[in-house]
Amino acid sequence: MTTLVVVRKNGEVSIAADSLTTFGDTRLSAEFDRAYDKIVHHRGTYIGLCGSAAHQLVFESLLAKHEDLDFSTKRSIFETFRKLHPILKEQHFLNPKEEEDDPYESTQITALIANTNGIFGVYSMREVFEYTQFWAVGTGREFALGAMHSLYRRLDSAASVAEAGIEAGATFDKNSGLPLTLFTLKLREL
């Protein structure tokens, strides 16, 4: 799957991702993939997607067609994903079934978001979280979280913490690999 991280530190936010795509036991490394970046840029917001490789193409299509998508706050991110869910079902043929007892239909998307307002996570039932320091998703998340927890107070920049998280995921998770991609923004002053 992947390792994705977001970090908030010293007036900056960073988002980073590994570059490996897997199909069962087959690995498509960055060396063979012309478009290995798992992070999408939209109007000052960076969105990292994990799960199906189709998510990125679908999301890029949605961003190009819908100018009014807002990723600036926890609430606006929720409303954006709520608005996108029927579009995903009707126009992109999303299969919203995960478990029979799920309380809501799934979007099947897990994403991390970074912009000048902060760092956020979105999960399949459209749950949205705003993080104060760092977070990770994907199959390498446990390794990334451990590395970032250990180094957060010791490293000076959001980018350094994010790099450490991705490197740990790429080292120990069989579904993650280097090189990494990383984007850093200054937080908006309140």
User: Taking the C-alpha atoms of 62, 64, 69 and 72 in order, what is their torsion angle to the nearest 10 degrees?
Assistant: 110
Amino acid at 118: G
Average pLDDT by consecutive 10-residue portion of the chain (190 residues)?
96 98 93 95 95 86 91 96 83 69 74 98 92 98 98 98 98 97 92
Task: Note the pLDDT of residue 27.
Answer: 94
In Å, what is the CA distance from 186 to each residue of 85, 158, 159, 179? Answer: 31, 10, 11, 24
Phi and psi based region of residue 111 (left: phi greater than 0; alpha: psi -120 to 50; beta: remaining): beta
Query: What pLDDT was estimated at residue 190?
Result: 65
- Closest CA relative to residue 81, chosen from 49, 50, 123, 48: 123
Distance CA 154, CA 79 (A): 37
- Report the side by side order of strands in the sheet with 110-115: 39-42, 45-50, 110-115, 118-122, 128-131
